Each structure stands twice: as structure tokens, then as C-alpha cells.
Amino acid sequence: MKSSFSLSLCFFFALLLLQRVLCENRASSPPRGWNSYDSFSWIISEEDFLNNAELVAERLKAHGYEYVVVDYLWYRRKVKGAYSDSLGFDVIDEWGRMIPDPDRWPSSKGGKGFSTLAKKVHSLGLKFGIHVMRGISTQAVNANTPILDTTKEAGRHWHAKDVGVKERACAWMSHGFMSVNTKVGAGRAFLRSLYQQYADWGVDFVKHDCVFGDDLDLDEISIVSEVLKGLNRSILYSLSPGTSVTPEMAKDVKGLVNMYRITGDDWDSWEDVSAHFAVTRDFSTADMIGAQGLLGKSWPDLDMLPIGFLTDPGSNEGPHRTSKLSLDEQRTQFPYVTSTNGLRFKNRGLTWQSRSLLDTVPPESDTFGLTSCMDPKAKGWFIKIADNDIEQVCWKGSTRNRYKAPFCLYKRKSRLASDEDMMYKQQYQGNVHLLATDAMEVCLDASPTRKLASKEIKRGSFSPCKWDTNQMWELSNDGTLKNNYSGLCASMKKVKVNAGFEGIRSWIATGRKGEIYVAFFNLSPEKTVISAKISDLAKVLPDKNLSNASCFCKEVWSGEDLGEAKESISTAVETHGSALFVLDCS
């Protein structure tokens, strides 16, 4: 009997060890699938979702697409007055957790949540994902719901108002959600209760929004990552949005997650597509693609492919139009987005023939942005005394033009304060509001108050001054200017206006069987002949012996077999188009 028990125990622990080994291979390649947002905004129903899941299973599963994801506000009632930032229309349970709107998701009735829907998705051979927001809902805080499985600190029972941080409401959904205080056990318990519920439902993928980029909440990301690590279910962890993300910022999260956005929202405009090229170059150069992540790998994420039948950002309407991208632009985006799967990205070794590419150098512009406070580029702010003894907070100025005046903001003057103002002054002691001019009561916001598209280069925005962490700044002795909302630091950087929107780009990769992939991208407004020498390919693929190799070439989009490429590959590429070659060299 004792021997039998010992064998059973050993077998049990062996299974646990095997499960952990399997889990530690999460996201071994970039997760691929379908997300509801671009086509349905927030109004998708269970019937529409399952119809699309069946199409993914039928047509895309064989090509590696395995996730189907319900995007945001699946808990919002689709009734008059409800929209993307409305208040009071969400369905929550007794513990303040979001649950599916039963009218749109009838299988969720009776406290089932998404469990029935997840089983249907799994029966199709697919995996099920959901979108969630930061922290806790404003509706739960207003209702002051109790918190499930709390640690009773100081003999207290905790409620939503004890953990919700109203001053850290999501900047672009201020009526919807706010951060939780992760410094207290109840805040951490609330987050655990959320993700345990998702695991109980059978969720395989979580897209966590308003916690990254300009909205960074590193404390919440860290807690959620730790919770997911301890669950008995493997759930891939993805962060959003990616506005203003830099490799330096991503270093803090890459080991905690499996995916993280590096762009704003991607819609069907050429400007959104072309804006991706510079940021992916930066992340590839920083060796961030396929880095060690949460129990597996992590991947920079370029958002969705806006192809097919779409809606509009923030709309209360489902798919009602086709993508505005031309066929050539869709082909350009498709191989470019999928090139971030750990393949080596190169932007050299090319020659081209074009009359317009070298005519002018785009003018430069000073752009306000946020970065990690550990980034040396964040150190450059100082105090300057202007006329009438007014204090300014200034950037160190142009390194190229010593005669150019530095960029400056004005510290907001102290004023007669109400009792509420006095309370907030104590709370934000050492922090200041920053004004564009000393004559207007509009203050600098760190994070934009609306979601940005990929094409938008964010500059500092201003709005009426209020006691809000998004407008509170702290100047340190080391020259950093830290924001209270995200914990990120301000910086000014030189960018070329429309840089990346024109010109020639390429990437080069090797496949599993030793084949070589070469893609040409024509971002210019006219048809362009692009060429690459085989000898130049050898320079960027030193592990390949191409000096005397015979390379046979095929172009993927046309299906044309080009035969042996002895010295170079060359083709005319349409405006905003691409060419994708497969080379077999021996």
C-alpha cells in the first residue's frame, strides 16, 4: 500500500513537472489569430463571434492562425446611451468583476461567464482570448463592491473604494477604469480574482489594455504576470497600447509578458502602415524579437492587419465597409508585419533606381515623448528663471544649434486653494503642473486623452488643469522629469517629418530548411526598380556560404519562377507595393 502511494505521488509530481516544462515554452513563435475590434469595435455578439471563429478554423488554422479574441467592452450593454467611454452600462458580478453582457452573450447566463463559448472555440481546434482593461472599473468603485479572497489587513474587510486609485484613471477611457493600489494585499487579491476567473472560463489569451506605452503601469503588469505564472492554466499575456514605446521602455516588461504593442492602433491608412518600418527596425536592432518572456518568449506586436470588412475607431456600428488599403498596400503590410517573428531584419545591401528618393532630406522637428527614466536620453531638464521671477522647466536645447533657445514650460503658480486643493497639494507634494504659457490655465498631459493611431507622432498635449496624475510632474536632481500617471520620464527628440513614409526598405531572413527570404518594400509614391546583389546578401548572412553558390529564385506574390540568380535579384515594385523572394542556394 505504501509503495503504491509512493508511485502515485511520484507520478503526480512528474505530471506537474511536465506541465511546467510545457508551459515554459509559451509563445515559441509569434501568436497569430483573429481579433474582433477592427470589424466590430465593441458591439460584437456571440453569434457573430462564433461565425468568424468558424471561418478562422476553416480557412486560416492550417496557416498557423489559432487564436480568436473578443476585444474590449464585452461586458457593456448595447443600449441607448452606451458608447466606448460611457459610465453605468457595464455588467459586473458581486465582487466587482466584469462579466459578459447576457444579451449579447446568451451562453453566459446563469453565472457561466465565457466558459461555454470557450468550449465551443476549443471544439474548433482554436484557442480563446479576451481583452481586459487596467485595474478596476469605475462602476465597481462607485458601487463599492467587496473584494473576493482578500487578505484581512488590520482586521478590515476590503471594498472597491479601498483599492481603486481614481487619480490614475485610464487617460483615454477616464469614465471606465482606474488603477488598483497594488501596495495593499486587497489590491493584489482583486487582480488574482480576475485572472483566476479567466482561467476558470477556459481563456487562453489575455490582451491587457491601458497598461503600456504612455499608459504604463509596471506594478500591475508585474502582479498580473506573477498571477499568471501561478495558475494551472497556460494563458498568453499581451500588453496594449504601444504609443511612444521605445526599446528602453520595453526592457522593463519583455520578461513579464509574451507580447507587447509597439505602435498605436493600426487602421487601414497607408500612413499607419508606413509608420511601422522605423519602429520595427529599432526593436530588431535592439535584439528584442523573440526574447525571453513569461514562461516562454516575448514578441513586439505591430497590432492587427486591417484587411477585409471593417468598422471605424470607437464606432457603435459593426463591419460596414471594406479596407481602404490597396491590394499592393495590403501585400506590403502582410509580409512586413509577419517579419517580426524572430527573423533577422536588415536594411542594407540594396541598390535602387529612382528619380525622387535622394532629392531632399526631410526637415527635423522637436517631438515631446516619454521613455524609461533609466534611459540616459531622459536626462536634460533644468530650472530656468524667466522674467518677473517666473520659474520655467526647460529641455537642454538643440545639440546641433547652440543659438536655438531651449524648449521651456512654465511652472504653475501657487494660488488660493480650497480644502480639496490643499488635500491634493499634500498628496502631490514635490510635483508640479506645467503650462504652455504663464497666461493660460492649460496643463501638460503625459498620456493622450484618446487612443492614437500608428501614424500619429505624439506631441505634448494640453488640457484644462486639474488634480490628476496625468498632469503631475516631478523634476529630479538628475535632470529627469517624471510623470505620476505612468512613472515614465519626458524627453525631447529629433524626428524627421514624414521620415519612413517614403523610400526603400527590405528584410532578409532564413527559413527552417535553409532557404533565404528577401522582401523589397517600395514606400515611395512612384514605381521603383529595386535590386540586391547576391554578394551583398552574403555580407549580412555570414553563416551562409554564398560566394560561389547557385541560387534559384521564386517571387511569391506572382508565383513566377525566376530561375537561377547568378549575380543579383531585381524587380520593378509598384507604389506602396512589395516583392517577396524565396532563394534556394547550394
Q: Is the pLDDT of residue 473 over 60?
A: yes
Residues 248 and 396 in one domain: no
Within a domain: 315: yes
The reply to whether 169 falls in a domain is no
pLDDT at position 463: 80
Q: Is residue 451, in this structure, part of any structural domain at all?
A: yes
The pLDDT-based confidence of 165 (bands split at 50, 70, 90) is very high
Within this chain, do residues 252 and 303 fall inside the same structural domain, yes or no? yes
User: By the 8 A CB rule, do 197 and 227 touch?
Assistant: no
- pLDDT: is 357 or 33 the higher one? 33
Residues 316-336: what's their mean pLDDT? 88
Same domain assignment for residues 355 and 333: no
**pLDDT band at residue 582 under the 50/70/90 scheme:** very high
Domain count, the chain: 3
Highest mean pLDDT: which of 168-182, 352-366, 471-485, 508-522?
168-182
Among 438, 472, 496, residue at a domain's last position: 496
Please tell me the distance from the alpha carbon of residue 205 to that of residue 257, in angstroms, as a whole number.
11
Give the pLDDT mean for 455-481: 81
The CA-atom distances, in angstroms, between 20 and each of 236, 256, 296, 302, 539 are: 14, 16, 11, 29, 41
Asked if residues 135 and 39 have their Cβ atoms less than 8 Å apart, the reply is no
The CATH number given to whatever domain includes residue 399 is 2.80.10.50
444 and 304 within one domain: no
- In this prediction, residues 114-127 reach a mean pLDDT of 98
In a domain, residue 146? The reply is no
* Percent of the chain at pLDDT exceeding 90: 51
Q: What pLDDT sits at residue 542?
A: 81
**27 grid coordinates:** 509563445
pLDDT(561) > 50: yes
Place of cell 512612384: 526
Whole-angstrom distance, CA of residue 242 vs CA of residue 211: 9
In this prediction, residue 535 has a pLDDT band, given cuts at 50, 70 and 90, of confident
pLDDT more than 70, % of the chain = 82
Same domain, 320 and 197: yes
Q: Is residue 379 part of a domain?
A: yes
- 447 and 511 fall within a common domain: no
Question: What pLDDT does residue 355 have?
Answer: 27
Q: Are residues 210 and 83 in the same domain?
A: yes
Q: What is the pLDDT of residue 127?
A: 98
The pLDDT tens digits for 249-302 are 899 999 999 999 999 888 999 998 988 888 888 888 888 889 999 999 999 999
Are residues 574 and 561 part of one domain?
Answer: yes
pLDDT 10s digits, 417-456: 555 556 656 666 778 888 887 777 888 888 777 777 666 6
Rounded to 10°, the helix 185-201/218-230 angle is 50
Does residue 361 carry a pLDDT above 70? no
Q: Write out pLDDT tens, residues 235-251.
A: 999 999 988 888 888 99
Q: 314: phi > 0 → left, psi -120 to 50 → alpha, else beta; which?
A: left
492 pLDDT exceeds 80?
A: yes
Q: Mean pLDDT over residues 224-232, rounded?
A: 97
Provide the pLDDT confidence category of residue 487 given band limits of 50, 70 and 90.
Answer: confident
Q: Higher model confidence: residue 94 or residue 468? A: 94
Per the domain annotation, does 171 fall within a domain?
no
Of 58-72, 252-266, 487-501, 512-526, the one with minimum mean pLDDT is: 487-501
User: Between 14 and 200, where is the model more confident?
Assistant: 200
Residues 512 and 478 in one domain: no
d(CA 410, CA 428): 18
Q: Is 276 in the same domain as 376?
A: no
Are residues 264 and 403 located together in one domain of the fold? Answer: no
- Rounded to 5°, the CA angle 124-129-132 comes to 160
Task: Examine the domain organization and report whether 324 and 407 are in the same domain.
Answer: no
3-class DSSP state of 254: coil
- Partnered with residue 461 across adjacent β-strands are 445
Q: How far is CA 329 from CA 271, 335, 359, 457, 521, in A?
A: 11, 11, 24, 21, 10
State the cell numbers at 72: 474590449
pLDDT (mean) for 98-122: 98
Query: What CA–CA distances, in Å, run from 211 to 13, 27, 163, 198, 312?
Result: 36, 20, 17, 18, 23
pLDDT in tens, 363-394: 455 678 888 898 888 899 998 887 777 888 99
Taking the C-alpha atoms of residue 323 and residue 449, their distance in angstroms, rounded to an integer, is 26
pLDDT at 186 (0 to 100): 92
- What's residue 586's pLDDT? 80
pLDDT at 133 over 90: yes
Domain around 559 = 351-360+500-585
When computed from its CA atoms, the radius of gyration of the chain, rounded to whole angstroms, is: 26
- pLDDT at residue 333, rounded to an integer: 86
List phi, psi (to 5°) of 309.
-90, 125
Indicate whether 172 belongs to any domain.
no
**What is the pLDDT, as a whole number, of residue 154?**
61
At which of 496, 523, 541 does a domain end? Answer: 496
pLDDT at position 485: 85
Residue 513 belongs to domain with CATH number: 2.60.40.1180
Q: Report the length, in residues, of the chain.
A: 586
For residues 237 and 228, the answer to whether their CB atoms sit within 8 Å is yes
Q: How far is CA 439 from CA 312, 368, 443, in A?
A: 38, 21, 11
Confidence grade of residue 211 (pLDDT, cut at 50, 70, 90): very high
Whole-number average pLDDT of the chain: 84
Q: Please say which residue of 444, 476, 496 terminates a domain.
A: 496
pTM (predicted TM-score):
0.82
Tell me the H-state helices in 379-491: 419-427
Note the pLDDT of residue 145. 97
In a domain, 31, yes or no: yes
